[in-house]
Chain A
Amino acid sequence: MAENYNTSVLSDIPAQEEKQYSYLNLGPTHPATHGIFQNVLKMDGEIIMDATPTIGYIHRAFEKLAERRPFYQITPITDRMNYCSSPINNMGWHMTMEKLLKLEIPKRVQYLRIIIMELARISDHIICNTIIGQDVGATTGFLYLFQYRERIYEIYEEICGARLTTNIGRIGGLERNFSDKTWEKLENWLKDFPPAFEEFSSLLERNRIFMDRTINCGPISAERALAYSFSGPNLRAAGVDYDVRVMNPYSSYEEFDFIVPVGTQGDTYDRFMVRQQEMWESVKIIKQAIEKIKKEPSHIYRADAPEYVLPPKEEVYNNMEALIYQFKNIMGETDIPKGEVYHCVEGGNGELGFYLISDGGRTPYRLHFRRPCFIFYQAYPEMIKGRMLSDAIITMSSMNVIAGELDS
C-alpha cells in the first residue's frame, strides 16, 4: 500500500509550518476599554505577543486652545481632561494661576478645596475600582457604589451647579460659599458612604476568585514604573511612596494626617488595593477638614484680591467698585506678571502638572499639561506582553486610563 503514495507531494510541505499570528483590534470603541483608544494586538492564540496602542481619537488641542483663552476661561478646558475627577484639575489650574499671581489664599478656602478635591478623588477611585470588579464579572459592586458617586455629584451640584464638567471654583477662591444644604448633603454622605464601602470591600478584597484573577496580573516593577515616569496609585502599587500631596504639599495638605498606601508588586490587585485604601484616607481627610473649617470665620470663601478675583454677581449689579473690577477682569485690563510656573497636584491618576509661561498678556504664552495617563499608558504593551487577552482588559481598567486625559 505504502508504495502507491506519491511522496513527492509530502516533501513540499515543510516539517513545521511557520508560526502564524492573528491580529486583533481592541478598540477604538470597545466596551472594555472604557474610552476611545485602539490597541492592535498581535495574538498567538489567546496569548498577546505584542501590542501597538494608537491614541488621539478625542484629541481637542487643549494646549493650542489655551493660548487664545484668558486665564479664567481655561478652567473649563481642564474639566475635560480627567473627567472622572474634574474638580482636582480645576483646582490645580487655579493654584497654578495663584502661584503666578502670588495670591495668598485664606485657610478656610484651602480646606474647602481639600474637601472638594478629596470627594473628587473618591469618585475617581470608585469608578476605577468598581470597573475592575465589573470587568472580572462582579457587577454588584459597580451598581451599588455608583449610588454614592451619584451623591458626590449632587454635592458638586450644590457647590457649583454642574456635575461632570464642574468648572468649580475661581482663581483666588470659590465662586460662592458652601450652602447649608451642601453641608447637610456632605454630612449625610459621610454617614452613609463608609458602611456601603465596607460592604463593597468585603465583596472583593479577600474574595478568593477575585484575588486569583487579579494577583500577578499585569505587574510592573518599581524600577520599570519609575523609568516610565509612573505616578499616582499606579506607581504606589509598585512600591514607591511618591505622593504629590506629601512631597510638595499644596492647599495646606501638610496639616493633615493621612497615610500613603503602597503596594508591593504593582499588579492589578495592588493597584486595586491602593485605591481602596486611598478612599479611606480621603474620607479621613474630609473629616479633618470639616473640623478645621469650624474654627475659621464662616463667611470667607475667596481671597481678598479684587484685581484678580471675580466679584460676586450681586455685588457687580449693585456696587461700583465691583463692577469696575468685573469689567477689568473680563476685558483683560489687569496686569498679569511675566513668569514661568510649574505647579503639580495629585490628580486621580497621579502627578497632574501645569507648566505655564506667561508673557504678561491676557492669555498664556504657552501652557503644557503634564497628564499622568499619557505618560504611564505607554508602558501598557510591556505590561501585557505574554499574557491572556482577558488579563489585558483588567490591566487596562486597573491603570485607570481616561481617554480625555490621554489625548488632552
Chain B
Amino acid sequence: MEQTATEDRIVSVIRENFSSEVISVESPYDFLTVNLKAGKIIDIIKFLYEKEKYQYLTTLCGIHYPENKTIQVMYQLHKLTENKRIRLKIALPEEKPTVPTLTNVFPAANWMERETYDFFGVIFEGHPNLIRILNVEEMTIFPLRKEYPLEDQTREDKNNDMFGR
C-alpha cells in the first residue's frame, strides 16, 4: 500500500507542475508508467532528477507502432534512495521523430540514444555525436522499424501462419 501512496504522490507532483503534459497514467504489472506529450519531456526528467531525486537512468528505448504512425520513446528512471521506478513514454510522429537529447542530464544516455537512433531513426537534438553505433555506417534503413521484416518476404518455402509473426 505504501508503494501506491508514493507513486500517487509522484504522479500528482508531475500533474501539478506539468498538468498539460500528462496524457495518461497506468501501472502495468505494478510498474508506474506515465504517458506524456513529447514537448517538455526533458524538462520533466530534469525536474524529476533535481527535485525528486530520480537520478539513475535505467534504460531508454524506442518502440514502433506503425498503425498509429508513431515511434514511442521509453525512459525508465530509478530513485535508488527509495527504490522507486518510473517509466515515461512519449510518442513521436513516424515521419519526423525528433526529441531533445538527455545527455545533458545523464551522460549514460549518450550511447542509449545512439542505439535508438541507429534502430529507429529517432533524432535526438543536441546530441554530441549522433551516429550509428551497432550497425554499419553505410546502412540506410532503421532496422527495428516494423516495415523491415526479418526475413525475405518473397520466400515461398515457409508458411508464416505456422511459424512466427
Contacts and interface: CB of A to CB of B under 8 A. Distances in A.
Contacts of B134: 55-56, 59, 407-408
A357 B134 CA distance: 22
Contact of B164 (A68, A242, A341, A374): A68
B76 interface: yes
Interface in B112-165: 112, 115, 119, 132-136, 143-144, 150-151, 162, 164-165
Contacts of A365: 63
B110 A378 contact: yes
A351 B19 CA distance: 33
Number of contact residues on A: which range applies?
A: 35 or more
Interface stretch (A77-85, A224-232, A296-304): A224-232
Contact of A228 (B108, B143, B151, B162): B108
A370 interface: yes
A100 B83 CA distance: 21
A1 B64 CA distance: 81
B106 A229 contact: yes
Interface stretch (B8-16, B25-33, B39-47, B93-101): B25-33
Contact of B133 (A55, A227, A247, A362): A55
Interface in A376-391: 377-379
A199 B36 CA distance: 56
Contact of A341 (B29, B64, B76, B115): B29
B23 interface: no
A100 B29 contact: yes
A181 interface: no
B6 interface: no
A313 interface: no
Nearest to B160: A68
A340 interface: yes
Contacts of A344: 58
Nearest to A331: B162
A375 B111 contact: yes
Contact of A363 (B31, B76, B136, B165): B165
B37 interface: no
A226 B56 contact: yes
Given A67-B150, A366-B63, A361 B31 contact: no
A306 interface: no
B22 interface: no
A56 B133 contact: yes
A363 B164 contact: yes
A18 to B, nearest CB: 26
A370 B60 CA distance: 9
Nearest to B109: A229
Contact of B59 (A59, A70, A341, A353): A353
B80 A242 contact: yes
B65 to A, nearest CB: 9
A63 interface: yes
A374 B74 contact: no
Nearest to B129: A52
A68 B150 contact: yes
* Chain B CB within 10 A, most for which of A229, A353, A374: A229
A69 interface: yes
A224 B58 CA distance: 15
Contacts of B48: none
Contact of A64 (B29, B80, B150): B150
A61 B31 contact: no
A253 B24 CA distance: 34
A362 B164 contact: yes
Given A56-B135, A242-B80, A339-B28, A378 B111 contact: yes
A72 interface: no
A67 B148 CA distance: 12
Given A100-B29, A366-B63, 17 more contacts: A56-B133, A63-B119, A67-B150, A67-B165, A68-B151, A70-B164, A228-B107, A342-B31, A342-B87, A353-B59, A355-B59, A355-B74, A361-B165, A362-B164, A370-B59, A374-B111, A375-B59
Interface of A: 55-56, 59, 61, 63-65, 67-70, 99-100, 224, 226-229, 240, 242, 247-248, 331, 339-342, 344, 351, 353, 355, 357, 361-363, 365-366, 368, 370, 374-375, 377-379, 407-408
Closest 10 CB pairs of A and B: A229-B108, A56-B134, A370-B59, A368-B61, A59-B134, A340-B28, A378-B111, A68-B164, A68-B150, A228-B108
22 contacts: A59-B134, A63-B119, A65-B150, A67-B165, A70-B164, A100-B29, A226-B55, A227-B108, A228-B107, A229-B106, A247-B83, A342-B31, A353-B58, A353-B59, A355-B59, A366-B63, A366-B64, A368-B59, A375-B108, A377-B111, A378-B107, A379-B107
